[in-house]
């Protein structure tokens, strides 16, 4: 395997295309996988071994420790849904609801793009948007905190996973084995949910003392429930007894 080049770093963009360079075309899902075997567009194989959490973008240049010819990344055309709306505020509302569902979204001034998903298309139409299916490069927004990982769960991908699984070397063919099988790659489209760990849990809120503003009655509120007070019931006739007390015996 020593003749297979290893790409370990992202290089500054050169002023002109270097001699002997090649290209690597990948869809967005595979551009999120930092350790995998890939096939360059000229048919040669290579290994990706990049820092965890780095998403490759169209136009990135990759290089290795051997100083060989660099490789330029190209975003593959893939099935996407092009979203538009009659008014900017309607498009903003659609973007909000997609983000609320942790959907990867490509954002432009007058349109949005998402990966093809009939359920999300129905939601967008219900919100007053228009959907057009097409094949185009997919470049969704990165993480808001600098990690660049498509599935934002913190600065390190493994901190929020309850299962503690790692990322195996992905196959070059693009097919992702089933969850739990050797070679399975975790990420968008891997067909299983991720449990968020304690780092995502809401902080505990102390219950104010009984009688203080904001006190909530219930289990753990720190005081027992008061016993119901007897209610006096007046009946017709001379007999009077209280609710919660046994009635007097009748002779």
Over residues 52-67, mean pLDDT: 94
- Given the structure tokens 């009946």, which residue do they identify? 235
Over residues 130-157, mean pLDDT: 69
Mean pLDDT of the chain: 76
For the stretch 22-43, pLDDT in tens is 999 999 999 999 999 999 999 9
pLDDT of residue 248: 55
172 and 36 Cβ atoms separated by less than 8 Å: yes
Over residues 239-245, mean pLDDT: 47
Query: Which band of pLDDT confidence, cut at 50, 70 and 90, is reported for residue 143?
Result: confident
41 and 35 Cβ atoms separated by less than 8 Å: no
pLDDT of residue 138: 98
Query: Which band of pLDDT confidence, cut at 50, 70 and 90, is reported for residue 156?
Result: very low
Query: Which band of pLDDT confidence, cut at 50, 70 and 90, is reported for residue 149?
Result: very low
Distance CA 84, CA 182 (A): 40
Distance CA 197, CA 153 (A): 9
Domains of the chain by range and CATH? 6-75 (2.60.260.20), 77-137 (3.30.70.790)
Question: Does 186 or 71 have the greater pLDDT score?
Answer: 71
Over residues 140-151, mean pLDDT: 62
**Residue 102 has what DSSP assignment?**
T
For the stretch 78-104, pLDDT in tens is 999 999 999 999 999 999 999 999 999
Q: Model-level pTM? A: 0.57
- Given the structure tokens 């909530």, which residue do they identify? 216
Query: Which band of pLDDT confidence, cut at 50, 70 and 90, is reported for residue 160?
Result: very low
Over residues 220-226, mean pLDDT: 54
For the stretch 180-210, pLDDT in tens is 555 555 555 554 444 444 444 444 456 666 6
Distance CA 96, CA 90 (A): 10
Instruction: Judge whether residue 58 has pLDDT over 70.
Output: yes
110 and 84 Cβ atoms separated by less than 8 Å: yes
Question: Does 197 or 6 have the greater pLDDT score?
Answer: 6
234 and 240 Cβ atoms separated by less than 8 Å: yes
- Strand blocks (E) in the chain: 6-7, 9-11, 22-26, 35-39, 45-49, 61-63, 71-75, 77-84, 106-107, 112-115, 130-137, 231-234, 240-243
């Amino acid at each position: 395997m020593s003749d297979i080049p290893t790409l370990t770093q992202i290089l500054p963009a050169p002023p002109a295309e270097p001699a002997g360079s090649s290209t690597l075309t990948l869809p967005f899902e595979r551009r999120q996988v930092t350790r995998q075997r890939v096939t360059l567009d000229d048919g040669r194989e290579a290994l990706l071994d990049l820092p965890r959490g780095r998403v490759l973008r169209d136009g990135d240049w990759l290089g290795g420790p051997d100083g060989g010819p660099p490789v330029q990344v190209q975003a593959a055309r893939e099935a996407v849904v092009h979203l538009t709306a009659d008014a900017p505020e309607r498009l903003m509302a659609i973007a909000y609801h997609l983000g609320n569902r942790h959907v990867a979204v490509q954002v432009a001034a007058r349109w949005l793009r998402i990966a093809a998903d009939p359920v999300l298309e129905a939601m967008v139409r219900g919100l007053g948007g228009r959907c057009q299916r097409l094949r185009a490069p997919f470049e969704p927004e990165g993480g808001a905190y600098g990690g660049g990982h498509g599935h934002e769960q913190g600065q390190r991908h493994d901190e929020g996973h309850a299962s503690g699984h790692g990322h195996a070397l992905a196959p070059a063919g693009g097919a992702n084995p089933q969850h739990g099988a050797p070679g399975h790659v975790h990420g968008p489209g891997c067909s299983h949910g991720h449990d968020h760990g304690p780092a995502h849990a809401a902080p505990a809120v102390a219950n104010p003392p009984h009688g203080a503003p904001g006190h909530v009655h219930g289990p753990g509120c720190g005081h027992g429930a008061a016993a119901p007070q007897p209610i006096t019931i007046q009946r017709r006739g001379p007999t009077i007894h209280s609710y919660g007390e046994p009635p007097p015996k009748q002779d």
